[in-house]
Amino acid sequence: MKEKSKRGGFTGSLGFVLAAAGSAVGLGNIWRFPYLAAKDGGGIFLVIYIVLALTFGFTLLTTEIAIGRKTGQSPLTAYGHLSEKWKPLGVIASIVPVIIMPYYCVIGGWVLKYFVTYLTMQGKNATEADYFTGFIGGNIAPVVFMIIFMAATFFIVYNGVDKGIEKCSRILMPILFVIILIVVAFSLTLSSTDENGVTRTGLQGLKAYVIPDFANLTLKSFVSTVIDAMGQLFYSLSVAMGIMITYGSYVKKETDLNKSINQIEIFDTIVAFFAGMMIIPAVFAFSGGNPETLQAGPSLMFITLPKVFASMGFGTATGIVFFILVLLAALTSAVSLMETSVSTFMDELHWSRKKCCGLMVVIMIVLGTASSMGYGLLDFIRIFGMNFLDFFDFMTNSVMMPLAALATCILILRVVGIDGMEKEIEQSSPFRRKKLYRVFIKYFATICLIIILLSSIANVLGIISM
Ligand code: PHE
């Protein structure tokens, strides 16, 4: 009991749900989900995503949170508690956030830079051809913005689970939600007339987003939509990074896990859906009505959207509001990454939170600076043709995370037993989707994970293109 209180914990279910949703809602929701939906036939992608969220996503999320609460430990020691032989799995799960955190902060720094650009009324500059590449290729400015972003994350994690993470999630997550609603409403009212006199509205863009495009549906496109949705869901729920195990370890035994898990899933999915309602109509109205102009990742956020903002009314204000939204989403995800690493160090080394935060800062600055400079000074260093940031991203997302999730399913099936997981959930409330959980953890989750693993490696090797 004493040890538990030393680790800290969430005060109640709302704090837990908002913190976990804060982790889940991140860059993936904003810069990847809308792109995939536009690429994969609008409504068809949405329906497949929701079905997978309620089955596959639900199974993985439930497993990790239950492991956390059952063992009361962060990933490294949690796996060791379940079975000494399986501790190496804990090593993989706990290394993932240590690798992701530094480069996530590099991107957090880019978002911060754009926020400052709009705040200082320089949004127009962001539309210049080499503004983005010029900035990230620099050796000082991106590192400085990264360090500021890290400092904010550090401050929250340093203050502990309830006074830092829970408190900030309780404030930031509702703000994030309100902002996204405002931007969605604005985006839907947009309209633009091009030089040929054709008017395109945000509402038409909304239609392209939600109405299923059956006309272009083929078996091949269906399969690739399912694979896209699976991979996206996996990343979006923050599973296989040890995060949900760590947050689960801070949950009280009387908290209704069943309900909390549903709420986390709903929150994450709604924000992803709204992100599409915010971005697709705006890009549709101002980029010639061709959904293919919508791209994923950095080019959407740092190149396409600034152009859209520049060509519409209230562009600067929209840029400010949009980038603060992205900043909040990225910050709460970064907090969960840092907390997982700090918690792992605390559980394994029995050091104080202060000391573990210090250790993590050193790792973050060294790896983060290397990742950032991979676009500038260190551009000549290539690992399998990738710069540091892309390589770290590939190793974690495409290799280590699917492997860790796969091994976790096997551990539950072979060692812990599905009953062990069910008992943990049922401590606080009836386990409503128990049958579904059984079927999925036994058969489908492993199959889905193998597909994710193989397809993402094949994608990076250029064998398929996703
Ligand atoms: N779930 C986050 C997202 O959708 C991904 C993430 C969370 C990545 C935490 C790293 C750390 O963007």
pLDDT in tens, 345-383: 999 999 999 999 999 999 999 999 999 998 888 888 888
Condensed to tens digits (0 to 9), the pLDDT of residues 314-325 reads 999 999 999 999
Q: How much is the pLDDT for 330?
A: 97
104 lines ligand 1 (CB under 6 A): yes
- Kindly state if the Cβ of 371 falls inside 6 Å of ligand 1: no
Confirm or reject: Cβ of 396 under 6 Å from ligand 1: no
* 3-state secondary structure at position 291: helix
pLDDT in tens, 243-260: 999 999 999 999 999 999
CA atoms within 13 A on the CB side of 187: 27
Can you point out the beta strands (E) in 313-404?
Answer: none
| CA–CA distance, 316 with 119 (Å, rounded to integer) | 8
Please tell me what DSSP assigns to residue 29. Answer: I
- Residue 176 sits at the vertex; the CA angle it makes with 170 and 180, to the nearest 5 degrees, is 150
Q: Say yes or no to pLDDT of 93 above 60.
A: yes
What is the pLDDT confidence band of residue 4, given thresholds at 50, 70 and 90? very low
Mutation test of ligand 1: which of 107, 236, 238 has the most ligand atoms closer than 8 Å to its C-beta?
Answer: 238
3 state DSSP class of 192: strand
CA-337 nearest atom, ligand 1: 11
Cβ 154 under 6 angstroms from ligand 1: no
Task: Identify the three-state secondary structure at position 383.
Answer: strand
| 110 Cβ closer than 6 Å to some ligand 1 atom | no
- Give 425's DSSP letter: H
The number of the ligand 1 atom at minimal distance from the alpha carbon of 268 is 4
Is residue 296 over pLDDT 80? no
Give yes or no for residue 27 CB within 6 A of ligand 1.
yes
pLDDT of residue 355: 97
> What is the best residue among 27, 341, 395 to mutate for testing ligand 1's pocket, by most ligand atoms within 8 Å of CB?
27
Q: Residue 199: which H helix or E strand, with range?
A: strand 199-201
216 CA → ligand 1 middle, Å:
31
**Nearest 5°: phi and psi at 347?**
-70, -35
Prediction pTM value? 0.93
Residue length of the chain: 466
- Give me ligand 1 centre to Cα 26, in Å: 5
What is residue 292's DSSP assignment?
G
Q: Can you tell me the distance from the alpha carbon of 25 to that of 35, in angstroms, rounded to the nearest whole number?
A: 16
Residue 71, ligand 1, Cβ within 6 A: no
Place of tokens 């923050």: 238
Does the beta carbon of 26 sit less than 6 angstroms from any atom of ligand 1?
A: yes
Mean pLDDT, rounded, for 96-117: 96
Nearest CA to ligand 1 atom 10: 333
Closest CA to 35 of 189, 151, 207, 209: 209
Q: Is the CB of 100 under 6 A from ligand 1?
A: yes
Give the Å distance between the CA of 286 and the centre of ligand 1: 29
The verdict on the CB of residue 332 being under 6 Å from ligand 1 is no
Nearest partner of 405 among 292, 242, 276, 294, judged by Cα: 242
14: which 2 tokens? 């709302």
Rounded distance, CA 377 to CA 188, Å?
43
Distance 282 CA to ligand 1 centre (A): 24
Q: Which of 157, 180, 333, 389 to mutate to test the pocket of ligand 1 (most atoms within 8 A of CB)?
A: 333
pLDDT band per the 50, 70, 90 thresholds, residue 409:
very high
Q: Is residue 29 in contact with ligand 1, taking CB distance under 6 Å?
A: yes
Q: By alpha-carbon position, which residue is closest to atom 11 of ligand 1?
A: 333
Separation of CA 219 and ligand 1 centre (Å) = 30
CB-based contact 258:425 (threshold 8 Å): yes
Cα(83)–Cα(62) distance, rounded to whole angstroms? 19
Q: Average pLDDT of 87-105?
A: 93
